[in-house]
Amino acid sequence: MSLVRSISISFFMIASISPASAQSLPGGFVYLRDIDPSVIQDIRYATANNFVGRPLAGYGAGECVVKREVGERLKAVQAELAAQNLSLKMFDCYRPARASLDMVKWSQNGRETAAERRYNPRIPKTELFRLGYIASRSQHSTGAALDLTLVDLKADNSGKYDPTKSYADCTAPVEVRAPEGSVDMGTGYDCTDAKGHTAAPSITQEQRAWRRRLVAAMARQGFVNYSKEWWHFSLPGAGGAAYDFPIQPRRN
């Protein structure tokens, strides 16, 4: 969902490609796997494991696509973390503009399901745009914004999301909320709650230490965290126009 500010983007440069030319990424975009295959990927909007409960428009594959400079800097972050038995895990990278419009339609459909409330335990989804929790024009569509977390490679990360289970909401203790195979940052991914703010005072010291560790590692490569989302980072100057080409499977 990404707590991103609504930014003014020139949509006359939105690009698209057909499935037949899926490998022809425009505007200096690359598949992150081609830059660093060691980075773990869990692209949630290509699955039903997200706040909408289905794959979003434009997500034809669970692949992280980014601008090349962004990918190279992520590779440098990953190299630093690897020495500490840690890894990045990508939740979202480039986001087709049509996916943001899909989010707008979702927010206006007049329904609030129990599964949706896991991500928005205290805020009606009709309020998410006004409060800055979703943007109709997302910086993700420029290829310069990312949603990610840390994985402790020494820990047991075998827990998998089970769509048949009823999990506690995203602010609950890690033992009862949906598993994400990553360190405990105090909330789940895409948690639209004050507890998801990077400097939230309501988390434990250990959770705060993990957030600071992630922010520091990303900052050393020039990435800036968005204060309302511990998971959201952007690289100033690496963006530009928004794009709408679909994410297609990467050919080996």
Whichever domain contains 107, its CATH number is: 3.30.1380.10
CB 1 within 8 A of CB 118: no
Q: Please tell me the distance from the alpha carbon of residue 242 to that of residue 67, in angstroms, as a whole number.
A: 12
Per-residue pLDDT tens over the stretch 172-191: 999 999 999 999 999 999 99
Q: Please tell me the distance from the alpha carbon of residue 159 to that of residue 26, in angstroms, as a whole number.
A: 36
- The mean per-residue pLDDT over the stretch 216-222 comes to 98
Residue 244 within a domain: no
Residue 218 within a domain: yes
Residue 1 is predicted with a pLDDT of 58
Residue 19 within a domain: yes
147 labelled binding-site residue: yes
Residue 107 within a domain: yes
Structure tokens at 183: 């360190």
Per-residue pLDDT tens over the stretch 49-82: 999 999 999 999 999 999 999 999 999 999 999 9
Considering its fold, how many domains does the chain have in total? 1
- The mean per-residue pLDDT over the stretch 155-177 comes to 95
Query: Above pLDDT 90, what percent of the chain?
Result: 76
Residue 123 within a domain: yes
- pTM recorded for the entire structure: 0.90
Catalytic residue among 116, 127, 206, 229: 229
Q: How confident is the model at residue 21 (pLDDT cuts 50, 70, 90)?
A: very low
Residue 4 within a domain: no
Q: Residue 127 pLDDT more than 90?
A: no
Active site residue 116: no
Q: Which helix (H) or strand (E) holds 14?
A: none
Q: Residue 44 pLDDT more than 60?
A: yes
232 labelled binding-site residue: yes
Sign of the C-alpha dihedral, residues 206, 211, 212, 218?
positive
Residue 1 within a domain: no
Kind of pairing between the strands at 145-152 and 224-225: unpaired
Q: How confident is the model at residue 132 (pLDDT cuts 50, 70, 90)?
A: confident
- Per the structure, the complete domain to which residue 59 belongs is given by 11-234
User: How many CA atoms lie within 13 Å of 5's alpha carbon, on the beta-carbon side?
Assistant: 8
Per-residue pLDDT tens over the stretch 101-115: 999 999 888 888 888
Residue 168 within a domain: yes
